[in-house]
Amino acid sequence: VVAAGLVGVLASMPGLAPVLAIASAAYILYLAFRIATAPPLAEGGKQAARPNFLGGFMLAVANPKAYVAIAAVFAGAASQADTLGVSVRLLVLAAMIVAIHVVWLLAGTAFARFLRNPLASRVINLVFAATLVLTTALAVLR
């Protein structure tokens, strides 16, 4: 929903795209730092605080995967014989987003046991953080 709204805003105000790209990259790098410095699950004796609305909103806005998915759906359907309407494309995109989140949820649940081992957790967090930094750098530098 947020990404669909941002597509409209960016279409009407293309000068915002570089600002949004910089803000998105900065937030993704901040998340990489948080992941790299996160303690193993075993050390977090108390329940982690639930993310607040602003944190979730910022993640949605700064999520480059959402922009790639939207661009793929809209660019792929922009052929000469465009029989799909915008609403059908958005509906397909929303279904894909739900399916991807369900898969991530199931994978995260299965993966949690590895995150309870302090050494494995440290390695996994560093690999995830490095991957975020690398993909952000590749996206910004292309």
Q: What is the mean pLDDT of each run of 10 residues along the chain (142 residues)?
A: 61 72 82 90 62 76 66 55 68 82 86 85 92 87 79
Count CB atoms within 10 A of the CB of residue 21.
15
Q: What does the pLDDT read at residue 123?
A: 93
AA letter at 133: V
Question: In the chain, how many domains are there?
Answer: 1
Give CA–CA dist 127/119, Å, rounded: 12
> What pLDDT does 58 receive?
75
Domain residue limits at 91: 2-141
pLDDT digits (tens, 9 = 90+) for 43-71: 555 666 666 778 777 777 777 666 666 66
For residues 57-94, b (16+ Cβ closer than 10 Å) or e, as one string?
ebeebbbeebbebbeebeeebeeeeeebeeeebbeebe
pLDDT at 80: 46
For every residue of 2-32, DSSP letters joined together read HHHHHHHHHHH-TTHHHHHHHHHHHHHHHHH
